[in-house]
Structure 1
Amino acid sequence: MKKTFFTLTLGVLLTTRLALAQTADYAILPKPARLDEQKGEFSVGSNLTLVLEKENADVRKLAESLAAQLKASAGISPKIKTGKGGSNSIYFDTEQSDKLGAEGYFLKVSPKQVVITAQEPKGFFYGMQSLLQLMPAEVFSPSVVSTVKWKVPACYIEDKPRYSYRGLHLDVGRHFFPVSFVKKYIDMIALHKMNTFHWHLTEDQGWRIEIKKYPKLTQLGSQRKETMAGRYGDNKYDGTPYGGFYTQDEIREVVRYAQSKYVTIIPEIEMPGHSMAVLTGYPELGSSADKIVPVATKWGVFDDVLFPREETFTFLQDVLTEVMDLFPGQYIHIGGDECPKKQWKESRFCQELMKREGLKDEHELQSYFIRRIDQFITAKGRRMIGWDEILEGGLSPNATVMSWRGTEGGIAAAKQKHDAIMTPGGFCYLDHYQADAKTQPIAIGGFTTLEKAYSYEPTPAELTPDEARHIIGVQGNVWTEYMRIPEYVEYMTFPRAIALAEVGWTEKDRKNVDDFKQRLELHKKRLDYLNLNYFGAPINGKFNYQWPKETAQKK
């Protein structure tokens, strides 16, 4: 009996060690749909050639970026040509296949050559991300590493995403972040095969996008007199003016950069709530043209909101026209969340409008507001997204719902045959604590571990197959009330965003949290070369995450 137990235990240990060894060779994140390990390895040497099956400008750019990365990290300069792939080559092979789709790829690594097969450039891009993750982690080094054996383990991969929408959000209204960091954030989105950057550009605490027709949005709305310091309940402020915004040229620069990484940017322009930064410069769009409305310095929800006047709709149409000229993606996010109805209830104009339009309450008045905006966006050939509050009072005909207050909003939208993106706070809000709050820098609250984020299943079980197809994806949200510096955004976002990337890409029957964590441990070395300050990174201790105590003033 003891001998049998010993044999079984030894077998388990050997199997575990073998699995870990295999994981070390094939630590791809997110996990591919199919990966067959094979014998041998491909050597990345000075005689490497990158070969395009046929000339394509976008695929050539991908080959050029791969060549540049290999030159920077391995010190080799592969040639790029068009034709047939041969020995010592990475071959970009275009093929039409039902298994591929727009974002799918095949990757075959043999001792002789590497073949990436895809239908479209974005498929080649994702295949290239997997190839890079099969190489030594040093491939992500910004300088040449000469002590590494540049090998790729042999394998065959068939891969494509589970969901068409795989997003990561960033709030720049509460705290503003420079273009250089936004680009780095997009790099991380792309590396992990997410395809959407949700850019939250306006808030009560700051308007961050230049609008030529309404200069006071940035002249006044982008600046606040001070910022909350420390915890919300402390009611302390730093006494320091704070501001920043992106020029339209900077927006175009970021959009072009994202396009090169096959990332679509969805801009968010909040309405009718979370609009105090608008009312600072244009108070006539709110309850009274005579009211002084400062840019908010406190976090939270405020009664000052946009009113459904014709002047307001003209203003918003003008703003959205400029926004749509900057962002070519199909979606425009209009917020629609956390809009208090107090001022509307107290307004003679609003009450008369409700009677005239046959609206039974202020929730239906908000629906009227959102429908007006939806009609305009649809007429421009775009699609509107809003937070799940846009369901209240009746859902606008063409709206896509982003479900954040749990999953109910997404379920309701899908049952009404509207597309939904799942981002429930308990799983997808990356501003929540990820470890014991006593050991962490200040955060807004909540508790979402890496394991909990990874456990999320976006498609609710209660939906029929026809309804379930309206769940188009999943997104991680990063609200920045307490994130003053880019490094704190990185600390809170990663690696939990990587877990959500696998939720969005990998079929649920392929997921395993222990396997994910093993691959992640190896992946962290890549993130170190990329100088990412993820939770647990060696560089965590270099930064001051807390608000400087000497500047905090009691109010």
Structure 2
Amino acid sequence: MPNCTPPTSTRGASVIPQPATMATSDSVFVLDASCAISASHDAEPAGALLAQRLRTACGLPAPVTTTPGASIDIRIDSALAAEHYAVSVGTDGVVVRAGDAAGALHGAQTLLQLLPPDVHRSAPIGRTAWTLPCVEIVDGPRMRWRGVMLDVARHFFAPREIRRLIDLLAMHKLNVFHLHLTDDQGWRVQIDKHPALTEIGGWRPRSQVGHRTAGVFDARPHGGFYSRDDLREIVAYAELRGVLVVPEVDLPGHVGAAVAAYPELGIPGRAPAEVPGGWGISSHVLNMRESTVAFCCDVLDELVDIFPSEVIGIGSDECPTEPWQNDPESVARAAELGLGSVAELQGWFVSRLEAHLAGLGRRAMGWEEVLDGPPSRVDTLVTVWRGSRAVARAAEAGHDVVSAADTSVYLDYRQSDGADEPIPIGTIVDADTVLAFDPMPDGLTDEAAQHVLGGQANLWTENVDDPRMVDFYAFPRVCALAEALWRGPGDPDEFAPRLDAHLERLRAAGVEFRPSEGPAPWQRRPDAQGSPKSLAQRQAELNRLIDTGHTPITME
């Protein structure tokens, strides 16, 4: 290890998420044109990431070698656990040790945060001094799954915007990007065997403006989709940054776009004439014919060919049963299958997709509604959105589970009770609320607790219609999410000064985050109506959904 002034305090250094242990001194390591990077096998992506930043923003040559002993030396150390790392900065150099490739990337991200914020710019701006504080860090995450979900079905975001968001997730040591690819309002993944999914289902002629209760629509077509190669590029780009891309197609509800493209998939006579542009829970569900199951298995086959993720999302949330109850064919199908009611058709359908994925060497990921009705396969990963009751239910049943609690980490929810919040919906989810997020419910047995992999924030995009607003809704709440999942629920007073320093990094990276004093004038939406709720109102709604198991139709 390089020699360094004995650790004293954390003065002069601010990192998000906060490392497990960190101590700095007044000494520094100076980066100049002689600085080189050595990266051992499996640490090469970390060396490349660090070199790219030093070249782009600092104008330094930053050559990378696999020969140990360069002034910045990144190496794998099997004594450290997965994703863990240690950093030692002395006046004569830097050593990063990591348990694996992911840990090496985390160490590189920490070094970048210890440099001046301008290291996150896209070109040099004339700064001549680049220094790292002498520091001793030992660090590793609390949670294995630290994710963000982006809904690209309600509003489409180009591949370059997806890659930019992945960069920002990696900057915060978040390691899962959950890509919600399909919904009523759009189908965004190219499926070669069924091209109309994107040819027809990939665009809609109009979109609702604001909350559905206002009944206001624009007349502007909206659309777009990702080719298979677009998605392969996104997957490879994310992998180089330590981020796993988990795809999701939502079935058997939320399928308006698919049924508009292929009416034979839906309830007879109920297919929409066009891809829906309204928000809410629609009556468009899949029929339960064998041909429809085979169609969905075709889709899964192509997803597996594109995405290496062990888990493949199949949705399974918010599927109303009334369309089946009112359809003679569906009623007859439930009887033919020996089911107790048409409501059990969803569990039967989910089990078919689970089995198909298992045959492909993968496993399903579904929203918590997969727990309703007949038991789901125990290897199905459950993503919970209605709170800790459902997390405990899934974990105690032996499922791996990820918490995405509605009232804690829904990033489309309003960030204050101010009148200038754009299209305010839901309860208040500000940075302090996210910072307090804990995926682990109280009272779990040790065995059940092992199944709680972590958590993620969900950014649904009904009201997020351009990349600038993705920035507004995501940041700085994603910073608080990273802190909570890496280290545990935080103290707002301790976090605030570190966040203030971190915002300078985001500003240098070009992120249009929500200012602490409230939305900037151009971030407001006085033209669009919201639907705010109190925490008590929303919690009562969630409890009712859990207790009744009934999904109401809210959109036609």
Q: Give the TM-score normalised by structure 1.
A: 0.90
- 1:442-481 pair list within 5 angstroms: 442-481=423-462
CA distance in 2, matches of 1:426, 1:148: 46
- The 3-state SS of whatever aligns with 1:518 is helix
Q: 1:403 aligns with which of 380, 384, 405?
A: 384
Question: What 5-or-longer segments of structure 1 have no aligned partner?
Answer: 1-20, 550-554
- Please name the residue that 1:45 is paired with: 32
- Please name the residue that 1:166 is paired with: 146
1:395-415 CA-to-partner distances (Å, cap 9, x unmatched) read 311211111012222111101
Worse-superposed segment, 147-156 or 448-457: 147-156
CA RMSD of aligned residues (A): 2.2
Q: 1:534 aligns with which of 513, 528, 550?
A: 513
Distance 1:537 1:50, change over 3 A: farther
Which one-letter code corresponds to 2:224 in the other structure? G
- The 3-state SS of whatever aligns with 1:453 is helix
- Please name the residue that 2:501 is paired with: 522
CA distance in 2, matches of 1:49, 1:28: 24
CA distance in 1, matches of 2:163, 2:437: 27
Distance 1:93 1:241, change over 3 A: closer
Q: Give the TM-score normalised by structure 2.
A: 0.89
- Please name the residue that 1:512 is paired with: 491
Q: 1:111 aligns with which of 91, 96, 100?
A: 91
Task: Please tell me whether the aligned partners of residues 533 and 539 of structure 1 are also in contact (alpha carbons under 8 angstroms).
Answer: no
- Please name the residue that 2:185 is paired with: 205
CA distance in 2, matches of 1:68, 1:271: 41
- The 3-state SS of whatever aligns with 1:432 is coil
Task: Please tell me whether the aligned partners of residues 33 and 507 of structure 1 are also in contact (alpha carbons under 8 angstroms).
Answer: no
1:308-346 CA-to-partner distances (Å, cap 9, x unmatched) read 210111000001111111111111011101101112112
- The 3-state SS of whatever aligns with 2:336 is helix
Q: 2:305 aligns with which of 309, 321, 325?
A: 325
CA distance in 2, matches of 1:545, 1:197: 27
Q: 2:397 aligns with which of 400, 403, 416?
A: 416
Task: Report the CA distance between 1:518 and its aligned residue.
Answer: 1.1
Which one-letter code corresponds to 1:439 in the other structure? D
Task: Report the CA distance between 1:538 and its aligned residue.
Answer: 11
CA distance in 2, matches of 1:532, 1:423: 24
- Please name the residue that 2:54 is paired with: 70
Task: Please tell me whether the aligned partners of residues 255 and 284 of structure 2 are also in contact (alpha carbons under 8 angstroms).
Answer: yes
* Residue 60 in structure 1 maps to residue 47 in structure 2: no
Distance 1:352 1:230, change over 3 A: closer
* Residue 193 in structure 1 maps to residue 177 in structure 2: no
Q: 2:164 aligns with which of 153, 164, 184?
A: 184
- The 3-state SS of whatever aligns with 1:304 is coil
Say which one has the larger Rg: 1
CA distance in 1, matches of 2:270, 2:78: 63
- Please name the residue that 1:348 is paired with: 328
- The 3-state SS of whatever aligns with 1:440 is coil
Distance 1:324 1:514, change over 3 A: same
- 1:142-291 pair list within 5 angstroms: 142-147=122-127, 149-288=129-268, 291=271
Task: Report the CA distance between 1:482 and its aligned residue.
Answer: 0.8
* Residue 433 in structure 1 maps to residue 417 in structure 2: no
Task: Please tell me whether the aligned partners of residues 45 and 241 of structure 2 are also in contact (alpha carbons under 8 angstroms).
Answer: no
Task: Report the CA distance between 1:282 and its aligned residue.
Answer: 1.1
CA distance in 2, matches of 1:231, 1:418: 35
Which one-letter code corresponds to 1:481 in the other structure? E
- The 3-state SS of whatever aligns with 1:212 is coil
- The 3-state SS of whatever aligns with 1:109 is strand
Distance 1:227 1:136, change over 3 A: same
Distance 1:292 1:425, change over 3 A: closer
* Residue 296 in structure 1 maps to residue 276 in structure 2: yes
Task: Please tell me whether the aligned partners of residues 176 and 246 of structure 2 are also in contact (alpha carbons under 8 angstroms).
Answer: yes
- Please name the residue that 2:540 is paired with: none
Q: 2:295 aligns with which of 303, 315, 320?
A: 315
- The 3-state SS of whatever aligns with 1:447 is coil
Worse-superposed segment, 64-73 or 522-531: 64-73
CA distance in 1, matches of 2:525, 2:420: 13
- 1:480-495 pair list within 5 angstroms: 480-495=461-476
Worse-superposed segment, 474-483 or 135-144: 135-144
- Please name the residue that 2:63 is paired with: 79
Task: Please tell me whether the aligned partners of residues 402 and 422 of structure 1 are also in contact (alpha carbons under 8 angstroms).
Answer: yes
Distance 1:267 1:102, change over 3 A: same
Task: Please tell me whether the aligned partners of residues 433 and 440 of structure 1 are also in contact (alpha carbons under 8 angstroms).
Answer: yes
Which one-letter code corresponds to 2:22 in the other structure? L
- The 3-state SS of whatever aligns with 1:25 is coil
CA distance in 2, matches of 1:514, 1:460: 24
1:485-507 CA-to-partner distances (Å, cap 9, x unmatched) read 11111101111111111111114
Task: Report the CA distance between 1:294 and its aligned residue.
Answer: 2.6
Which one-letter code corresponds to 1:473 in the other structure? G
Q: Give the number of aligned pairs.
A: 521
* Structure richer in helix, relative to its length: 1
Task: Please tell me whether the aligned partners of residues 10 and 24 of structure 2 are also in contact (alpha carbons under 8 angstroms).
Answer: no
Distance 1:281 1:80, change over 3 A: closer
Task: Please tell me whether the aligned partners of residues 288 and 349 of structure 2 are also in contact (alpha carbons under 8 angstroms).
Answer: yes
CA distance in 1, matches of 2:227, 2:57: 34
Distance 1:37 1:23, change over 3 A: closer
- Please name the residue that 2:15 is paired with: 28
- The 3-state SS of whatever aligns with 1:146 is coil
Distance 1:84 1:177, change over 3 A: closer
CA distance in 2, matches of 1:402, 1:239: 35
Distance 1:71 1:530, change over 3 A: same
Distance 1:291 1:468, change over 3 A: closer
1:218-264 CA-to-partner distances (Å, cap 9, x unmatched) read 11111212111234222111112221111112111211111111111
- Please name the residue that 1:546 is paired with: 525
Task: Please tell me whether the aligned partners of residues 32 and 157 of structure 1 are also in contact (alpha carbons under 8 angstroms).
Answer: yes
